[in-house]
Amino acid sequence: MTPPLSLHGVSVRYGDRPALSDVTWDAVPGLTAILGPNGAGKSTLLRAALGLVPATGEVRFFGRTLAEVRNRVAFLPQRASVDWDFPATALDVVGMARLPRLRRWWGRLPRADRDAALAALDAVGMADFAARQIGRLSGGQQQRVFLARALAQQADLFLMDEPLAAVDAVTERAIIAVLHRLVDDGKTVLMVHHDLSLVSEHFTDVLLLAGRVIAAGPVREAFTEDSVARAFGGLPRMMVA
Amino acid sequence: MIGHNTFVVLLGCAALGLAAGVVGSFALLRGRALLADAIGHAALPGVVAAALLAAALGGEARALGPLLLGGALSGLLGLWALRMLTASGRIRADAGIAVVLSAFYALGTVGLSVAQAIPGAAQAGLPHFILGQAATLTTGDALVAGTLALGAVGAVLALFQPLRALCFDEAHAAALGLPVRRLDALLLALILLVTIAGLPAVGLILVVALLIVPAAAARLLTRRLPGMVALAGGLGALAGVAGALASQRLPELPTGAAVVLAGLVFFTFALFLRRPS
């Protein structure tokens, strides 16, 4: 089967500093945690794959270039990367995912796209907040709006940058439920994550990074005390199952 | 009674205020407010050079088209200089803007004093470009400025959805495959267009306020971008008309100051009204 995402010799430099060196990795359908210490290049990996930062090496989505399969790939950036005081409702934000499908760029969102956005909000338990200004949502609710925006794209591969960072318990449960549903539907979710305690319970695969690939594969094989120690420099051993 | 010319000038100023509010809303949300200030100041040497050139060629130095074209070109040059200064990352954007803005303005001021001594160029009414004087606009001037402004409004409305996505979350918009670089360049071009079109009526020192003050007031009172854009456009148009009327009645009054003061009244009201829940 063609991997949903295939990286071959991908490297990224920020100025003089190498952020990611020679990453060769094939993603598999399921829920993959991208783990590593701060500065390990986790977010950079997602951004490089999407062409948002300059990178060398080869990136393939479903065996093709990103431009050929954009609608099959959804990106969920870190919540802190945008201004939540922006004059928009939850529905406005989720509707942005429908832009590539629009035939015109002015006026209101067409009915079908509006319905898709509402369905995505419903899927994350935010249907009642569709008309709420995003600045008036809690942090966890904002995170669910971001997840809904990714869902509204109706993609097959989801690249998520820390959607579980600093969220409340309700949001965490809602997001994890959505992730399991995506995996059951045969989708691929690659998620930058930092809480090692959740890995064994919820994820199928891991990619351990520390500027380069430390270990990759099914959780049972690749998420070992040894590989975690090598990625994190020996710190959080007790978190591994 | 309002004469025909006055009426056209009022309409031109209304169109200008409308465009400034609409384009300014996006400029504000994209953090481009100070760029409009830099463009306005950077336009002065170009305006002066165009007047000198027209005078040297024996043409009509007062003709607005060439003056605005000159202003747009030197405004672009200012943006380019800013990009060169900040590209290395060693000079921060705010410092770069301050350097470019003052350097071009100083150059323009020197050129202005030269131009005032040259009979042909002295009649171009160049000092009005600094503080603005709507009352001196001809019907043709107002039509030029108004047409440019309405063109900018049309462009924003036609690309409303992707421009909103760009301003809210550039990385996501790029991942969606939207042409974010071209959209960003277009937004900058529209800011340039409105700034330059506003120079003769509002003046280069305060034209930034026409872009930003109505947008800032509208942002306080609305919770969605369509409402913000509509309200900013309406407030901008009102401020433009108020300023033009004041300029007609009190010829000593610089229009730019009157327009901005009218806008600030709206802004102050907005601060007290706040946004609805």
Q: Domains in chain A, start-ordered, CATH in brackets? A: 5-239 (3.40.50.300)
Nearest CA-CA partner of B161 in A108, A129, A164: A108
Confidence grade of residue A241 (pLDDT, cut at 50, 70, 90): very low
Q: Is A51 left (phi over 0), alpha (psi -120 to 50) or beta?
A: left
Based on its alpha-carbon atoms, the radius of gyration of chain B, rounded to whole angstroms, reads 18
pLDDT value, residue B54? 86
Nearest CA-CA partner of B175 in A145, A3, A120, A158: A158
A93 inside 8 A of chain B by CB: yes
Q: Is the pLDDT of residue B231 over 70?
A: yes
What is the rounded average pLDDT of the residues B136-144?
83
Query: Quick one: which H or E segment has residue B61?
Result: none
Distance of CA A206 to the CA centre of its chain: 13
CATH superfamily of B4-272: ABC transporter involved in vitamin B12 uptake, BtuC (1.10.3470.10)
The amino acid that residue B269 corresponds to is F
pLDDT value, residue A194? 82
A106 inside 8 A of chain B by CB: yes
Name the least confident of A28-32, A200-204, B177-181. Answer: A200-204
The residue ranking higher by pLDDT, A61 or B62, is A61
* Most distant CA atoms of chain A, gap in Å: 56
Query: Is A54 exposed, middle or buried (CB count within 10 Å of its CB: 0-12, 13-18, 19+)?
Result: exposed
Whole-complex ipTM: 0.91
Tell me which chain B residues have a C-beta less than 8 angstroms from the C-beta of A73.
Answer: 175
Percent residues over pLDDT 90 in chain B: 51
Distance of CA B189 to the CA centre of its chain: 11
CB-nearest to A77 from B159, B162, B172 is B172
Query: In angstroms, what separates the C-alpha of B207 from chain A's closest C-alpha?
Result: 24
CA atoms within 13 A on the CB side of B171: 23
Q: Per the confidence metrics, is the pTM higher than 0.80? A: yes
> Which residue do the tokens 């995505």 mark?
A120
pLDDT value, residue A225? 85
Tell me which chain B residues have a C-beta less than 8 angstroms from the C-beta of A105.
Answer: 158-162
The model's pLDDT over B65-83, given as tens digits with 9 standing for 90+, comes to 889 999 999 999 999 999 9
Q: Which own/partner pairs from B251-255 qualify as long-range (CB within 8 Å, at least 24 positions apart)?
A: B251/B135, B254/B131, B254/B132, B254/B133, B254/B203, B255/B13, B255/B131, B255/B132, B255/B133, B255/B134, B255/B135, B255/B201, B255/B202, B255/B203
pLDDT value, residue A235? 52
pLDDT value, residue A209? 92
A80 inside 8 A of chain B by CB: no
Q: Is the pLDDT of residue B94 over 50?
A: yes
The model's pLDDT over A216-235, given as tens digits with 9 standing for 90+, comes to 889 888 888 888 888 888 55
pLDDT value, residue B275? 53
Report yes or no: A135 and A85 within 8 Å, Cβ to Cβ: yes
Is B178 within 8 Å of A100 when comparing Cβ atoms?
A: yes
pLDDT value, residue A25? 95
Name the least confident of A51-60, A110-119, B109-118. Answer: B109-118
Name the least confident of A121-125, B147-151, B216-220. Answer: B147-151
Q: How many residues does chain B have?
A: 277
Tell me which chain A residues have a C-beta less than 8 angstroms from the C-beta of B159.
Answer: 105-106
Query: In angstroms, what separates the C-alpha of A173 from chain B's closest C-alpha?
Result: 25
Name the residue of chain B whose CA is nearest to A50's CA. B175
Pairing relation of β-strands A213-218 and A17-26? Answer: unpaired
Query: In angstroms, what separates the C-alpha of A238 from chain B's closest C-alpha?
Result: 36
Confidence grade of residue B254 (pLDDT, cut at 50, 70, 90): confident
pLDDT value, residue B276? 53
Percent residues over pLDDT 70 in chain A: 97
Is B168 within 8 Å of A50 when comparing Cβ atoms?
A: no
What is the rounded average pLDDT of the residues A6-28?
92
Confidence grade of residue B188 (pLDDT, cut at 50, 70, 90): very high
Q: Where are the domains of chain B?
A: 4-272
What is the rounded average pLDDT of the residues B185-191?
95
Distance CA B176, CA A193 (A): 23
Mean pLDDT of the residues in chain B: 89
pLDDT value, residue A237? 47
Mean pLDDT of the residues in chain A: 91
B 128-167 residues with CB < 8 A to A: 157-162, 164-165, 167
pLDDT value, residue A192? 95
